[in-house]
């Protein structure tokens, strides 16, 4: 396997692991807890791009599905996909893909990074809130109050931190990639 691909495989695993660690920093607030995972979901899209960001979040869900405690508050198992937070979990895949897709258009531009994290964060709600409504039989208003409102301020903070982190770390990733390209050319 070429080293560039191997590096993306390892980085996708790393982002899945960071998302899992983020799930342990959580506040149990009603049926949907506040978690730090969403920061790493967005970050995986910003750093790895759409394809590998999606792979990384798919991997995170797979690790949780086999029973390893990587979901919010140390939960694990397939059953959590069918619970009230299942939509948010599937939303991670969509969010990471969309964030990566938008930020890839012109890498390094502030405005596209901001747009990417905004659309990415909204994508989590796009799947999470209808799912929450369906599972808990809440009204739309209540689903929005329980599933969106408490997270808005935190999500703005997490999105801003994700952009700061992504912009600080991208040069390191670029250097690693360029070094392996030079080695290959030698």
Partner 1 sequence: MARIALHYFPGNSLLHHWDARCKFFGLLMMTATLVQSNIAWFTFDSILLIGLLFLSKLPLRQFLRDFWIWAIFLFALFFFQAFFTPGLRVSFFPWLPISLEGIYLGGLTCWRLALILGYAVLFTAVTRPRELRDTLAWLLKPLPFLPERRIGLMVSLTLRFFSIILDEAEEVRLAHKARLGDQNKNPFRKAKFLALPLLRRSLSRAEEVTLALAAKGFRDDLPIHLSKLPFSHLVPLFILLGSLMIIGWYQL
Chain contacts with partner 1 (rule: CB under 8 A): 1, 3, 6-7, 9-14, 16-18, 20-21, 24, 27-28, 55, 59-60, 62-63, 66-70, 73-79, 157, 160-161, 164-165, 168-169, 172-173, 176
Least distance to partner 1, CB of residue 126, Å: 26
Give φ, ψ of 64 to 5 degrees. Answer: -65, -40
Least distance to partner 1, CB of residue 39, Å: 8
Q: Nearer Cβ to partner 1, position 75 or 126? A: 75
Contact 140, 133 (CB under 8 A): yes
Q: Nearer Cβ to partner 1, position 105 or 164? A: 164
DSSP string, 157-178: HHHHHHHHHHHHHHHHHHHHHH
Least distance to partner 1, CB of residue 63, Å: 5
Give φ, ψ of 154 to 5 degrees. Answer: -60, -40
Q: Nearer Cβ to partner 1, position 106 or 179? A: 179
Least distance to partner 1, CB of residue 50, Å: 17
Q: Nearer Cβ to partner 1, position 68 or 134? A: 68
Least distance to partner 1, CB of residue 34, Å: 12
DSSP 8-state symbol, 34: E
Three-state DSSP class for 13? Answer: helix
Give 177's contacts (C-beta < 8 A, 6+ positions apart): 4, 7
List the structure tokens of 118.
Answer: 């905004």
């Amino acid at each position: 396997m070429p080293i560039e691909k191997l590096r993306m495989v390892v980085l996708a695993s790393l982002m899945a692991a960071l998302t899992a660690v983020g799930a342990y920093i959580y506040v149990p607030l009603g049926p949907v807890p506040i978690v730090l995972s969403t920061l790493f979901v967005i970050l995986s899209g910003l750093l790895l791009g759409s394809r590998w960001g999606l792979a990384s979040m798919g991997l995170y869900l797979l690790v949780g599905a086999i029973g390893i405690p990587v979901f919010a508050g140390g939960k694990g198992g397939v059953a959590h996909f069918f619970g009230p937070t299942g939509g948010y979990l599937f939303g991670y895949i969509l969010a990471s893909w969309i964030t990566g897709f938008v930020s890839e258009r012109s890498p390094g531009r502030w405005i596209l990074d901001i747009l990417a994290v905004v659309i990415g964060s909204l994508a989590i709600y796009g799947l999470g809130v209808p799912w929450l409504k369906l599972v808990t039989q809440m009204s739309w208003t209540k689903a929005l109050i329980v599933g969106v409102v408490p997270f808005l301020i935190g999500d703005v903070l997490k999105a801003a931190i994700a952009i700061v982190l992504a912009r600080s770390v991208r040069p390191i990733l670029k250097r690693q990639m360029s070094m392996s390209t030079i080695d290959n050319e030698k």
